[in-house]
């Protein structure tokens, strides 16, 4: 756990290019993740936000290869330069746990009620690091517990003797004790109380100082992203519609979906209720061109006919939106293309 060297900080841990994940359903293939591009550097925390059903969890699991039977991945996904999609199942298994970790939402269902915490740690370490000594197991476990704020006196306790927040800390400690390079945390604080959630967010935020881990934090809570993440990716209908530095994206959202998502969030500064009309589309039959156009208040006629390219914008973020591109003079649209889109009236029946 040496302090990060500068060149190391620039090291790309995860690189996804044109990544696609789909699975078969009775109604046809669902393209839950569609042509996603992003990179994650060492020690970086990337927040992934969007409404339910936009493919956030599928992307998170797809990155780790934890997809159900019947799901497939395509495109390119490199972990520290290794192409993950061509690895055999066995080679993938070897990376998981040790190099790739996952933190789930419900900690109690992930801990064995009959095993002491010490046994959880011993099992985890022995499976992934063959031949590790007993003393080393204890030393590493206690250190992971300490970082998570769990007293060493509780090392031999059982899972039920811990509170909800403590259990989630245990899960995080069990993931991090292997010092993985990349961790996916899927809604890690959703089941927790406000104060405990804030404690966990702080721990996640401080992770890079201790473990040098890159983190993909999946959440529907934009406030958490603003507080804990370096960058944020906004997903809509299987695509990343905007990605960039968290402060920049929240201050100057470029994609109308990002902007409307922020406006509909109820925070302490909320003075009026705003919401996005309609609901995310069924991913078996997504809308053509820009998938957000049926709900977009800024939609132009081009949005319904041509898919917007993802373009780098001056503020440092990248967005796939015709309106944003035109605003920054990156594309030129003729009068017909930029005419406001005639939209069908949305009935409440289509509302979420």
Partner 1 sequence: MPTKPDPGLVAEARDLSVHFQLQGGALSRLLGIGARRVKAVDGVDVQLRRGEVLGVVGESGSGKTTLGRALLGLAPATGGTLTYHPTSGGTQEITRLKGAELRRLRTDVQMVFQDPSAALNPSMTIEEGVGHPLVIHGIASGEDLHQRVVAALERVGLAPVERFLSKYPSDLSGGQKQRAVIARAIILEPEVLVADEPVSMLDMSVRAKILQLMLDLKNDLGLTYLYITHDLASAKYFCDRVAIMYLGRIVEIGPTEEIFAHPRHPYTQALLKAIPEPDPDRMVPRDLPRGEIPDAAEPPLGCSFHPRCPVATPVCGWEQRDLKALLEEHWVRDETADYEAERATVGDLDGLDRPRTTARLAGKDPAAVRAVLDSVRAADPEEPLWGGVRAVEERHGHLEVDFVDGVDPPLRASHGVEVACVHYGADPEWPAEPGEPGEPGS
**Paired tokens of 118:** 């010490």
Distances (CA, A) of 42 to 7, 27, 181, 240, 289: 10, 40, 7, 21, 34
Closest approach, Cβ 252 to partner 1, in A, equals: 10
Stretch near partner 1 under the rule CB under 8 A, chosen from 15-23, 245-253, 315-323, 333-341: 245-253
Is the Cβ–Cβ distance between 127 and 97 less than 8 Å? yes
User: Which is closer to partner 1, CB of 34 or CB of 197?
Assistant: 197
Stretch near partner 1 under the rule CB under 8 A, chosen from 150-158, 286-294, 298-306, 310-318: 150-158
Stretch near partner 1 under the rule CB under 8 A, chosen from 8-16, 66-74, 85-93, 267-275: 267-275
Work out which of 25, 275, 316, 327 binds partner 1, going by CB under 8 A.
Answer: 275
Residue 86 touches partner 1, criterion: CB under 8 A:
no
Phi/psi of residue 200, each to 5°?
Answer: -70, -40
Residue 166 touches partner 1, criterion: CB under 8 A:
yes
Closest approach, Cβ 191 to partner 1, in A, equals: 9
Residue 262 touches partner 1, criterion: CB under 8 A:
yes
Helix 194-211 vs helix 164-176: angle between axes, to the nearest 10 degrees?
A: 20
Is the Cβ–Cβ distance between 286 and 217 less than 8 Å? no
Work out which of 13, 150, 176, 183 binds partner 1, going by CB under 8 A.
Answer: 150
Residue 272, classified by CB atoms within 10 Å of its CB into exposed (0-12), middle (13-18) or buried (19+), is exposed
Q: With helix as H, strand as E and coil as C, how does 17-38 read?
A: EEEEEEEEECCEEEEEEEEEEE
Percent helix, strand and coil across the chain, each to the nearest 5: 35, 20, 40
Touching partner 1, residues 28-67 (CB under 8 A)? 51-52
Is the Cβ–Cβ distance between 90 and 44 less than 8 Å? no
Work out which of 174, 204, 225, 241 binds partner 1, going by CB under 8 A.
Answer: 225
Looking at the chain, list the stretches that DSSP marks H as alpha helix, in order from N- to C-terminal side.
6-9, 56-64, 89-95, 117-128, 134-147, 164-176, 194-211, 222-228, 246-251, 256-264, 322-327
Stretch near partner 1 under the rule CB under 8 A, chosen from 12-20, 98-106, 157-165, 206-214: 157-165
User: Which is closer to partner 1, CB of 86 or CB of 109?
Assistant: 109
Stretch near partner 1 under the rule CB under 8 A, chosen from 76-84, 92-100, 120-128, 164-172: 164-172
Q: Binders of partner 1: how many residues, by CB under 8 A?
A: 57
Residue 270 touches partner 1, criterion: CB under 8 A:
yes
CB neighbours of residue 238 within 10 Å: 27
Residue 221 touches partner 1, criterion: CB under 8 A:
yes
Touching partner 1, residues 167-196 (CB under 8 A)? 193-196
Q: Which of 111, 24, 137, 144 is nearest to 72 (CA)?
A: 24
Residue 281 touches partner 1, criterion: CB under 8 A:
no
Per CB under 8 A, residues contacting partner 1 are 51-52, 142, 145-146, 149-154, 163-166, 193-199, 201-202, 220-227, 246-247, 250-251, 260-262, 264-271, 273-276, 279, 347-349, 351-352
């Amino acid at each position: 756990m040496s302090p990060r060297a500068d060149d190391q900080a620039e090291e790309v841990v995860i690189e996804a290019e044109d990544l696609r994940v789909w699975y078969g359903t009775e109604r046809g293939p669902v393209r839950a993740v569609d042509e996603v591009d992003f990179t994650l550097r060492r020690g970086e925390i990337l927040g992934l936000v969007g409404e339910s059903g936009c493919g956030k969890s599928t992307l998170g699991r797809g990155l780790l290869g934890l997809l159900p039977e019947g799901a497939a991945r395509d495109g390119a996904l490199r972990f520290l330069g290794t192409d993950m999609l061509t690895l055999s199942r066995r080679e993938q298994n070897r990376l998981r746990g040790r190099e790739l970790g996952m933190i789930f939402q419900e900690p109690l269902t992930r801990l064995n009620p009959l095993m002491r915490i010490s046994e959880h740690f011993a099992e985890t370490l022995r499976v992934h690091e063959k031949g590790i000594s007993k003393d080393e197991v204890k030393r590493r476990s206690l250190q992971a517990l300490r970082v998570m704020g769990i007293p060493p006196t509780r090392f031999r306790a059982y899972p039920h003797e811990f509170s909800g927040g403590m259990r989630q800390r245990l899960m995080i400690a069990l993931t991090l004790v292997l010092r993985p390079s990349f961790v996916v945390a899927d809604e890690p604080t959703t089941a927790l109380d406000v104060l405990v959630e804030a404690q966990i967010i702080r721990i996640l935020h401080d992770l890079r100082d201790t473990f040098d881990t890159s983190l993909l934090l999946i959440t529907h809570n934009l406030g958490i992203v603003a507080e804990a993440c370096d960058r944020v990716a906004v997903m809509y209908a299987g695509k990343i519609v905007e990605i960039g530095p968290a402060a920049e994206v929240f201050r100057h959202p470029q994609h109308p979906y990002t902007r409307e998502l922020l406006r509909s969030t109820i925070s302490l500064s909320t003075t009026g209720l705003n919401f996005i009309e309609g609901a995310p589309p069924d991913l078996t039959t997504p809308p053509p061109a820009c998938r957000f156009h049926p709900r977009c208040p800024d939609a132009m006629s081009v949005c319904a006919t041509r898919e917007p390219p993802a373009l780098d914008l001056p503020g440092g973020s990248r967005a796939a939106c015709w309106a944003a591109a035109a605003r920054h003079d990156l594309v030129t649209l003729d009068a017909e293309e930029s005419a406001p889109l005639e939209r069908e009236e949305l009935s409440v029946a289509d509302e979420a």
